[in-house]
C-alpha cells in the first residue's frame, strides 16, 4: 500500500486517483476548486464516466480515497505526487502550463520528505526537465530529495476507468531509472506492459500517439470524400483495409471528424513544438485542415439538399464530441451549429447526456427533450454523435413530423437503403455518392 497524492480532479486526475485507490493504495485527490471537492465529498461526480461514481464511492467508504483542497493534508507522507491538471491550448496552440507550474510550486513549498513527482497531464516535450527546474528554484536552496517521472495517460473519455484498469501499455520516462521503477510498482497489479524510457521520449510518445490517431481519422475522412465523388463506400473500404494487420480496423470510421479535449489540443501543441523548433509539420497541418473541412462539408451537403439554409429548421442529433460522454469540448456539433446559424438556419438539438453542458453555451439553439421533438417541423435532420439510442429511431414517425424528408447521417450510423426505404433522402459520409449527386 502506497500513499499517493493526485493534483487535479478532472477526468484524468479523478480516474487515476480512484483507480489507484481501487488497487489498495491510500490516495488523496486535491483540487483548488472547493465546489468540486465539496461535491466529491458528497459523492457527486464532476464528470460523467461509466463506472466512476460507483468506484469512487466504494473507495471512499473503504477509507482509501479522500478529497481535499488542502495541499499540506494531501501531500503529508505522500511518496508519489501525480500532477493531473489541465494543460489547455494557449496562444497559437502552445500548451498553457500555468496549472502545472502552480502544482509543482505547491509541492516544492510544502514537501520536506523524499517524493516522486509524476506528470500525468499531457505536457510538451521537455516539460519534465522544466518541472524539476521549477521545484529546484522554488526550494531556493532548501534541500529536497525528489525525482520527476513522465507517465502520460492514454484514457479515452467514456471508457476512462476501463482504459486505466486494462491499459495497452504504461509508459514511464525519467532521468532516474529507479524512480521510474518505483512508479512501475504502482501499476504491477494491472499485469500490463510497462515501458521505461527517458523523460522526453515518454512525453513524445503521448503526442505522437494522439497525433497518429487523429491522422488516421483525417485520412479516412479524405478517402470518404473521394468515395462520394467516385461512387465507392468508405465503410467497405475501411473494412477491406483493416484486414491488413499492419493497418487494423480501429480509428478508421469516417464521419464529421475528431473533437474532444485531447486530439485538437494535442495536435495543435505538437504542431507548435515542431514550428518552434524549426521543423515543418506539413502532415499535422493537413490533418487539422481536413478535420475543419469535414464540418464545412456537412453544412455544404445540407445547403445543396435544401437549396439554401436561410430560414430553414435543422434538427441536430447528438452534441457531445462522441458517445458515452457529456463533454462538448471541440465537438463537431458546436461548430456545425454555428455554421448553420451563420447562414440563417434555426437549429433544434438533443443529446442523451450533454444537455446541461450545452445549455451553458448554446443560447440560440432550441434544446429539446428527445429526438422526435428535434425533428418536429425540421427541413433536415443531421446525426452528429452516434449514441446507441439513435440507432433504432421510429423513422416512419420522423417522416410524418418533419417538414422535408432529408437526413444527413454524419457518423454512418444507419443503413442508406433502409432509410431511403422510409422515403427519406439519405446522405452519409463517403457512402457511394453520399447523396451529393442527387442534388447536382
Binding site for ligand UDX (CB under 6 A): 153-157, 210, 213, 217, 251-253, 255, 257-260, 262-263, 321-322
The grid coordinates of residue 402 equal: 418533419
The dihedral of CA 125, 3, 103, 209: what is its sign?
positive
Q: CA 227 to CA 298: how far, in whole Å?
A: 15
Q: How far is the CB of 149 from ligand UDX (least distance, A)?
A: 18
Q: How far is the CB of 408 from ligand UDX (least distance, A)?
A: 15
262 is catalytic: yes
Closer CB to ligand UDX, 48 or 395, in the complex: 48
Evaluate whether 350 touches 371 at the Cβ level (below 8 Å). yes
| DSSP assignment of 97-124 | -HHHHHHHHHHHHH--S-EEEEE-S---
Closer CB to ligand UDX, 117 or 267, in the complex: 267
Closer CB to ligand UDX, 371 or 430, in the complex: 430
The H or E element spanning position 268 is helix 263-276
Q: CA 14 to CA 174: how far, in whole Å?
A: 24
CA within 13 Å, CB half, 438: 21
Closer CB to ligand UDX, 251 or 372, in the complex: 251
Closer CB to ligand UDX, 258 or 350, in the complex: 258
Q: CA 76 to CA 68: how far, in whole Å?
A: 12
Q: How far is the CB of 2 from ligand UDX (least distance, A)?
A: 24
Q: How far is the CB of 330 from ligand UDX (least distance, A)?
A: 8
Residue 229, SS3 per DSSP: helix
Q: CA 258 to CA 156: how far, in whole Å?
A: 13
Q: How many CB atoms lie within 10 A of CB 354?
A: 25
The phi and psi torsions of 141 (rounded to 5 degrees) equal 95, -15
Q: CA 427 to CA 299: how far, in whole Å?
A: 12
Q: CA 29 to CA 60: how far, in whole Å?
A: 11
| DSSP assignment of 26-43 | EEEEE-S-HHHHHHHHTT
Evaluate whether 202 touches 172 at the Cβ level (below 8 Å). yes
Closer CB to ligand UDX, 110 or 213, in the complex: 213
The dihedral of CA 82, 88, 94, 98: what is its sign?
negative
Evaluate whether 188 touches 212 at the Cβ level (below 8 Å). no
Q: CA 418 to CA 428: how far, in whole Å?
A: 13
Closer CB to ligand UDX, 235 or 322, in the complex: 322
Q: How far is the CB of 207 from ligand UDX (least distance, A)?
A: 11
Closer CB to ligand UDX, 391 or 437, in the complex: 391
Q: How far is the CB of 231 from ligand UDX (least distance, A)?
A: 22
Among the listed residues 5, 19, 227, 262, the single catalytic one is 262
Q: CA 152 to CA 428: how far, in whole Å?
A: 36
Which is nearest to 20 in space by CA: 85, 97, 78? 78
The phi and psi torsions of 128 (rounded to 5 degrees) equal -55, -45
Q: How far is the CB of 265 from ligand UDX (least distance, A)?
A: 9
Cross-strand pairs, 115 = 146
Q: How far is the CB of 352 from ligand UDX (least distance, A)?
A: 15
Q: CA 27 to CA 428: how far, in whole Å?
A: 47
Closer CB to ligand UDX, 203 or 253, in the complex: 253
Q: How far is the CB of 416 from ligand UDX (least distance, A)?
A: 19
The residues annotated with a catalytic role in the active site are 262
Amino acid at each position: 500500500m502506497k500513499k499517493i497524492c493526485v493534483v487535479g480532479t478532472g477526468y484524468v486526475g479523478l480516474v487515476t486517483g480512484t483507480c489507484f485507490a481501487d488497487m489498495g493504495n491510500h490516495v488523496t485527490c486535491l483540487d483548488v476548486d472547493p465546489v468540486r471537492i465539496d461535491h466529491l465529498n458528497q459523492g457527486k461526480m464532476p464528470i460523467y464516466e461509466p463506472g466512476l461514481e460507483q468506484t469512487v464511492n466504494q473507495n471512499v467508504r473503504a477509507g482509501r480515497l479522500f478529497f481535499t483542497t488542502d495541499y499540506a493534508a494531501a501531500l503529508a507522507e505522500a511518496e508519489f505526487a501525480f500532477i493531473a491538471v489541465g494543460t489547455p491550448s494557449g496562444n497559437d496552440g502552445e500548451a498553457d502550463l500555468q496549472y502545472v507550474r502552480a502544482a509543482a510550486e505547491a509541492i516544492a513549498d510544502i514537501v520536506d520528505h523524499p517524493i516522486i513527482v509524476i506528470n500525468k497531464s499531457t505536457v510538451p516535450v521537455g516539460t519534465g526537465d522544466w518541472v524539476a527546474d521549477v521545484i529546484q528554484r522554488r526550494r531556493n536552496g532548501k534541500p529536497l530529495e525528489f525525482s520527476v517521472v513522465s507517465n502520460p495517460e492514454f484514457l479515452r473519455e467514456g471508457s476512462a476507468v476501463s482504459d486505466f484498469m486494462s491499459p495497452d501499455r504504461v509508459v514511464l520516462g525519467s532521468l532516474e531509472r529507479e524512480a521510474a521503477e518505483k512508479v512501475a510498482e504502482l501499476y504491477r497489479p494491472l499485469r500490463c506492459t510497462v515501458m521505461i524510457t527517458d523523460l522526453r521520449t515518454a512525453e513524445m510518445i503521448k503526442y505522437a500517439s494522439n497525433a497518429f490517431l487523429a491522422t488516421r481519422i483525417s485520412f479516412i475522412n479524405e478517402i470518404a470524400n473521394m468515395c462520394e465523388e467516385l461512387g465507392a463506400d468508405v465503410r467497405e473500404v475501411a473494412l477491406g483495409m483493416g484486414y491488413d494487420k499492419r493497418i487494423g480496423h480501429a480509428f478508421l470510421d469516417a464521419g464529421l471528424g475528431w473533437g474532444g479535449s485531447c486530439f485538437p489540443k494535442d495536435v495543435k501543441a505538437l504542431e507548435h513544438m515542431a514550428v518552434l523548433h524549426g521543423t515543418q509539420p506539413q502532415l499535422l497541418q493537413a490533418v487539422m485542415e481536413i478535420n475543419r473541412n469535414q464540418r464545412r462539408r456537412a453544412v455544404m451537403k445540407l445547403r445543396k439538399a435544401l437549396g439554401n439554409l436561410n430560414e430553414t429548421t435543422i434538427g441536430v442529433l447528438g452534441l457531445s464530441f462522441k458517445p458515452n460522454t457529456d463533454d462538448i469540448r471541440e465537438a463537431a456539433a458546436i461548430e456545425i451549429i454555428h455554421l448553420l446559424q451563420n447562414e440563417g438556419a434555426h437549429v433544434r438539438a438533443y443529446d442523451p447526456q450533454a444537455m446541461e453542458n450545452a445549455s451553458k453555451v448554446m443560447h440560440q439553439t432550441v434544446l429539446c427533450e428527445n429526438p422526435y421533438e428535434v425533428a418536429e417541423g425540421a427541413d433536415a435532420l443531421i446525426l452528429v454523435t452516434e449514441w446507441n439510442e439513435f440507432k433504432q429511431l421510429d423513422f416512419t414517425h420522423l417522416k410524418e413530423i418533419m417538414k422535408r424528408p432529408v437526413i444527413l447521417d454524419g457518423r454512418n450510423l444507419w443503413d442508406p437503403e433502409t432509410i431511403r426505404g422510409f422515403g427519406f433522402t439519405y446522405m452519409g459520409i463517403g457512402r457511394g455518392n453520399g447523396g451529393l449527386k442527387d442534388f447536382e
